[in-house]
Structure 1
Amino acid sequence: MKLNHVNLTVTDVPAAAHFLEKYFGLRNQGGNQGFTALFDDDGLVLTLMKAGEVSYPKTFHIGFAQESEERVNEIYRRMREDGFEANPPQRSHAWTFYVRAPGGFMVEVMS
């Protein structure tokens, strides 16, 4: 069995989609202010739906595994240069950091 898609409710669909495209290489197959579908190289579909408010549980997040610690560090550096707030990567269950994405959800980047 393979997970086919995940839907995230977000406050800003275009900004969330741009973030996921820019930093994680997801491909946007079109959409609008209220809905869009993004695809990865393994066939996962990540849909984004607009809501006025978003309230995820404190520990909720989506994760993007990277091929190396250096790649995690590079993504962290790029995000910080672009104005995102995140604590530096640290050794936990992996070399990892968390960042709040536009639209109101948390993302983990790890290797």
Structure 2
Amino acid sequence: MKLNHLNLTVTDVPAARRFLEIYFNMVCAGSRKDNFAAMFDDDGFILTLMKGSEVHYPKTFHIGFPQENEEQVDKINQQLKEDGYDVKPPQHAHGYTFYVIAPGGFTVEVLC
């Protein structure tokens, strides 16, 4: 069985949308003002973003974007740093990985 979609509540839909487009090549298939966006990855998975005034995810909640190799993980990490995001260098843990807090209040893991 394949997972079709996931909805995230975010405090800033346009900023979260841009983040996902820039760093993870997601494509917005539709949006409504600043309250909703439907994002697609290259496998057809749908990630919807809905505006909420407060976002309270559990501490360990995150979404993950697997990469093909360590070089790609390093490239995204460096681009995020250059763009002003507070990211630590990738580490070898359960793969080669790092985390970043995305605009809108959710955490993203980048790994290979």
TM-score range, shorter chain: over 0.9
Residues 2-21 of structure 1: pairs in structure 2 closer than 5 A:
2-21=2-21
* 2-structure distance, mates of 1:53, 1:36: 17
Q: What is the distance in 1 between the residues matched to 2:9 and 2:70?
A: 30
Q: RMSD of aligned C-alpha atoms?
A: 0.5
Superposition deviation, residue 85 in structure 1: 0.3
TM-score between the two structures when normalised by the length of structure 2:
0.98
Q: Distance in 1 between matches of 2:18 and 2:8?
A: 14
Identity of aligned residues (%): 62
Shift of 1:73: 0.1
AA at the equivalent of 1:46: L
For residues 86 and 78 of structure 1, the distance between their equivalents in structure 2, rounded to whole angstroms, comes to: 10
Distance 2:87 2:81 in 1: 7
Rounded to whole Å, the distance in 2 between the matches of 1:50 and 1:67 is 32
1:54 corresponds in structure 2 to: 55
- Unaligned segments of structure 1, at least 5 residues: none
Q: TM-score when scaled to structure 1?
A: 0.99
**Shift of the alpha carbon at 1:56?**
0.2
Distance in 2 (CA, whole Å) between partners of 1:24 and 1:81 is 16
Q: Deviations over 1:14-49 (max 9, x none)?
A: 000000010000001121200010001111000000
Structure 2 gap segments, 5+ residues each: none
Per the alignment, residue 79 of structure 1 pairs with 80
After TM superposition, which residue ranges in structure 1, 4 or more long, deviate above 4 angstroms? none
